[in-house]
Structure 1
Amino acid sequence: MLSLTVKRMRRSRHRAVATFDDADELFVLPRPLRRAVRFLVSLGSGRISIPAHTGTVSAVAFLAATGFYGMSLGGHTQTVAQATTTAVGFAIEDVKVSGNDQTSEIEILQLLGLDGTTSLVALDVDAARKKIATLPWVENVEVRKVYPRTVEVKLRERQAYAIWQHGSELSLIEKNGSVIAPLRDNKFAALPLFVGRDAETAAASVVDEFAQWPDIRSRIKAFVRIAGRRWDVYLDNGIVVKLPEDNVQQAMAQLSKMNRQNDLLQRDIAAVDLRLEDRTTIELTPDAAIRRQAAVDNRTKALTKAGQST
């Protein structure tokens, strides 16, 4: 880089003229170097004082930065942070779970992965929430840190509406037909049973159809879906009510009327067929059919004997 020499110029009303004169010339540094040179000169002359222990602090900071960089490259940052915060009193000692009825607290603790030395500071609540949300009964979950040593887990669980039998499997379902979990015990035995393909998705609509017929609804044990179009309803005494594909309300009104007038559903019958609008067909049980046939035969004999005697 070239250095320029300029002559000191006298102030006048006329225009200043720069000349290259060996006498009375000054050396001018390039602009980027001037500040650095001034700092070095001031440092050397003692006009700038350096605080005590600056070198020590700088060395420690450099080593710490190097250590953190090495931990980051090796993937040990989380481990070191957890060990450090646990040592100073942030180890998780209490987990408070609320809103759980069907979800076990043990399942939640296992998903949190607590081992007695887990640090509250290092706990990833978003990851914990996502893990707990995978449990079958959990509809919504909130995980919160309560310093210094507590984790709060608040659940909202799904509600079992009915039991769905598909093949040989039994599952608990919500009102919208979503499967919650397999049925494992008799805790939900009082729930209505829906059987067949697509029965789970149509469950809520058919139950609503029986809302205004509580005397019959209370006796229903199972709804069986037939060909994905209509329902057979099984009562608690074994009678099967065959409903039509359409006009279920009309069919139920007819059934309720017959039951009030003749105690139809208390009789020894096997089925009530309501599929045809203009007629109702009653199917007897085998024993009732035998008794009825015997009664018919006796009546025929009696009529025959009476005819012969006359």
Structure 2
Amino acid sequence: MLALKSGNGRGVRGAMPSLFGLSLSAEHFVLPRLLRKPVRILSRVGRGEFTPPPYAASMLTVSFLAASSLYGAYVGGHFPALVQGVTARSGFAVDQIKVSGNRETSEIDILDKLQLDGWTSLVGFDPEEARERIVALPWVRSAAVRKVYPGTMEVRIEEREAFAIWQNGNQLSVIEKSGAVIAPYTGGRQAMLPLVVGFGAAERAADFVAKVDAYPELAARVKGYMRVGERRWDLRLDNGITVKLPENGVDAALTDLVALDRDDALLTRDISAVDMRFTDRLVVQLTPEAMERRQAELKAKPKVVKSTAGKRI
């Protein structure tokens, strides 16, 4: 309440308070309670009745120097560092870091992106800038950094999901389903991922691998998916056989291939390639060893016929 009405007939005790000769009271006005004491002190100073406490000059000097230092630190851009130093030594230094959600990203890399030292304070630490640095790591899709006072920092990340290893020339990279490169291939647990080879294979691999996965008995034997001329695919099996699929009608070709292997054990024979690019015929290429044996058999066959003919005569 900023004003109070005085009661009728109430007298004013003593002299009216004044500040530098100006009256601060009126017949129907009283200052708020919080302002009364400061105003009385100022009025005493104006009348020359105020005696400063001991060491007042020293205290004012120290206050002026402190204010000047703070202003200089602010103007010079050193104020955040000053706040960090003061608050860190006041019990707000980061002494515990909790990291969750990381499988491929090492905690050392995450701690490096936090840019902490022994006296980093939570008070002046910017979690958004730290989050942006962590998201820049190859495997990190999203990140959240949270301050828990007085001295704990929590980091939670979501990593990108590896789909395959992409070989482009001599370079091996781990890719997502979309074909986006995550990081260079370094071995380890990524060795179990499917291998896709060739220019343009990364962007189209997900759909083609899904078609092959529809035939589990065939998919279990595939070691590589090779993109040829950005038009069609070849399959490289675990026994070294290459299956050349057509540009169109891939689903039908895969169905025929599985049926031939189930009925005639085609993919376990001594062959090096199965060419399914032609709609009217299936071409099978023998291995060099099988070719030599076949040629030897063909050379031996006329001799057997000639020998039999001699006996009949």
TM range, smaller chain: 0.7 to 0.9
**Aligned partner of residue 201 in structure 1, secondary structure:** helix
1:67 Cα offset (Å):
3.2
Superposed CA RMSD: 2.5
| In structure 2, distance between residues paired with 1:228 and 1:271 | 20
Of 96, 119, 127, the match for 1:125: 127
* Aligned counterpart, 1:163: 165
* Aligned counterpart, 1:181: 183
The question of whether the paired residues in 2 share the 8 Å contact of 1:173 and 1:200 is answered with yes
* Segment of structure 1 superposing worse, 221-230 or 64-73: 64-73
| In structure 1, distance between residues paired with 2:206 and 2:109 | 31
| In structure 2, distance between residues paired with 1:93 and 1:282 | 68
1:50 is aligned to 2:41: yes
> What TM-score comes out, normalization by structure 2 length?
0.80
1:259 is aligned to 2:261: yes
The question of whether the paired residues in 2 share the 8 Å contact of 1:100 and 1:155 is answered with yes
* Segment of structure 1 superposing worse, 137-146 or 183-192: 183-192
Amino acid at match of 1:205: D
* Aligned counterpart, 1:84: 86
Structure 2: segments with no counterpart, 5+ residues: 1-17, 26-35, 43-49
| In structure 1, distance between residues paired with 2:205 and 2:193 | 12
Of 83, 104, 107, the match for 1:105: 107
**Aligned partner of residue 144 in structure 1, secondary structure:** strand
The question of whether the paired residues in 2 share the 8 Å contact of 1:164 and 1:173 is answered with yes
1:189 Cα offset (Å):
1.4
* Aligned counterpart, 2:271: 269
1:306 Cα offset (Å):
3.5
1:294 Cα offset (Å):
1.6
| Cα deviation code 1:164-188 (max 9, x no counterpart) | 1111111111111111111112432
* Aligned counterpart, 1:198: 200
**Aligned partner of residue 192 in structure 2, secondary structure:** coil
Amino acid at match of 1:41: G
Alpha-carbon distance change, 222 to 94 in structure 1, aligned in 2, over 3 angstroms: same
* Aligned counterpart, 1:288: 290
Of 112, 116, 119, the match for 2:118: 116
| In structure 1, distance between residues paired with 2:75 and 2:191 | 56
Structure 1: segments with no counterpart, 5+ residues: 1-37
**Aligned partner of residue 261 in structure 1, secondary structure:** helix
| Cα deviation code 1:63-111 (max 9, x no counterpart) | 5554332111111101110011111100000000000111111111111
1:301 Cα offset (Å):
2.6
Amino acid at match of 2:22: S
Q: Which runs of 4+ in 1 moved over 3 A?
A: 51-67, 304-310
| In structure 1, distance between residues paired with 2:190 and 2:279 | 36
Amino acid at match of 1:42: L
1:304 Cα offset (Å):
3.7
| Cα deviation code 1:249-298 (max 9, x no counterpart) | 11111111110111011110000000011111000000001111122222
* Within-5 A mapping of 1:181-260: 181-260=183-262
Higher Rg of the two aligned structures: 1
Amino acid at match of 1:160: A
Of 164, 168, 174, the match for 1:172: 174
**Aligned partner of residue 245 in structure 1, secondary structure:** coil
Q: How much identity, in percent, do the aligned residues show?
A: 46
> What TM-score comes out, normalization by structure 1 length?
0.81
